[in-house]
Structure 1
């Protein structure tokens, strides 16, 4: 019976014991190597899934902002608002839940999906590596939102403390270039109430205004440049002091994870920081940059 289940036991009395034991010992190492290989494969799958989820969240955040924008500018009825209807169709095709679409459209009217009015909150935060942030929030339940966000900030080792003095408030309107000459847009934008106009690397037109004149400038631009597509309009926080360079990959990853968590919180409407890329890879910086509104 023992020879059936333990065929190598007799070899323990022979001179070649070390060879037999070595042969037996090698088996677990071979087995462990397979386990490590599977573990590495699973880690890769999790990394790819995490990247895909982050991309999906960023896409839904973009849809939400466009839905809110077009609802605010041209009304909440897609039958009377072709731009809103176009974004709704694209969001549905991308798999955005109907409930999330309804929330974004209602937010453009200053209401929650239940019809309750929204309150505005601004949270000022200092993160590790001395990165200052300002977070704009619109919510129907101020107490709940503050509790949730403070808990999130603490979990990611941040501190709620004054940081707004490191920023200035500006109105920013981004227009898609639809064949207009920049000089033409520049002059029309100035007449519409802009203080400055520039063109970014994607050839989109960025129009800067004072916060209290931004909404009127948007309306004026829609009249003088009817073919120009308004991609976004917001009152944002722009850093006034020197930006903080992110040189440490671990610090950048930690901040990126915090930003993803903020973007997933439905009441967060804008996240602004005084960070810029330092001695880290483009991929590491992209995880931060893609989740900021600066």
Structure 2
């Protein structure tokens, strides 16, 4: 093996069967390293998992704020005098719900913001593609801000403000949590038959069980709170919700067939549900040809806060 010279750069001569190679080029070849992958796939996965975790956390907080507000409204803001409120507060704290969120929910049950300002009620109506009617119940300390924010959410879903109340009926609805079966001989599970007479006497117009076995009592709007207290206190039932709701008239329900429209609709409902001032969202959407999974997404996203 020998070196030749070409100007100032030496050439490395290999055995005669191979051509001469620049020594400097050969040295660079040995030192070269393949470029690293950017890792964007891993980051995408992390972002997806974080988004899913955040969505789950928002749903959980919505559940707690809804119940804290309800029990504060029904039985008072002092947990020492309100066992139902004390129980849900303890559970919310264990779940990591922030103190500010809890305090705001208690105050909202008393009709005030966390700063003590009186809250105003607002009903926002809209039509969203492909012609689904939407009613949004809002409690806010700034109507102007709430209207601006809701307009943005509706427009993103290709919707527009429009009168829709005539497509719905106003009714009272109280949902009592399903009682677990008991082995005690002197205590039986509270069901529809046991509470029916007392519920009707208190002002109920209809009773049923939902898909989870909870007891649902329908009544006139003005009788909602009275029925909730009377039945809950007499039979020791825990109220899951007590609302005056907008129920869509059967002949006005609309099906959503386009998958893109359905995705936009679910995204809109999710944004509305997590908006702090929104208390409930009602629509006249019909299941139509949706799969059970798609319909469950609608029901979950539309759930009152």
Same fold (TM over 0.5): yes
Give the gaps of 5 or more residues in structure 2: 1-23, 180-188
In the alignment, the residues of structure 1 paired with residue 123 and residue 142 of structure 2 have an alpha-carbon distance, to the nearest angstrom, of: 14
User: Residue 125 of structure 2 corresponds to which residue in structure 1?
Assistant: 124
User: Residue 28 of structure 2 corresponds to which residue in structure 1?
Assistant: 5
C-alpha distance 257-247 of structure 1, shift in aligned 2 (>3 A) = same
Q: Is 1:204 aligned to residue 211 of structure 2?
A: no
Tell me how large the CA RMSD over aligned residues is: 2.2
Give the gaps of 5 or more residues in structure 1: 8-26
In the alignment, the residues of structure 2 paired with residue 292 and residue 57 of structure 1 have an alpha-carbon distance, to the nearest angstrom, of: 14
The TM-score with structure 2 as length reference comes to 0.81
**1:219-258 alignment runs, 5 A limit:** 219-225=229-235, 227-240=236-249, 241-258=251-268
* Cα drift, residue 280 of structure 1: 4.0
- Conserved 8 A contact 2:191-2:215: no
**1:127-146 alignment runs, 5 A limit:** 127-146=128-147
User: Residue 82 of structure 1 corresponds to which residue in structure 2?
Assistant: 83
- The answer to which structure has the higher helix fraction is 1
Count of residue pairs the alignment pairs up: 268
* Cα drift, residue 4 of structure 1: 3.6
Q: Secondary structure at the match of 1:291?
A: helix
In the alignment, the residues of structure 1 paired with residue 53 and residue 129 of structure 2 have an alpha-carbon distance, to the nearest angstrom, of: 26
- Conserved 8 A contact 1:248-1:279: no
List per-residue Cα deviations over 1:15-45 (Å, max 9, x = no partner).
Answer: xxxxxxxxxxxx99xx8xx66xx55554444
- Conserved 8 A contact 1:57-1:263: no
List per-residue Cα deviations over 1:274-294 (Å, max 9, x = no partner).
Answer: 123344444443332212137
C-alpha distance 218-205 of structure 1, shift in aligned 2 (>3 A) = same
**1:1-294 alignment runs, 5 A limit:** 1-5=24-28, 39-178=40-179, 179-225=189-235, 227-240=236-249, 241-293=251-303
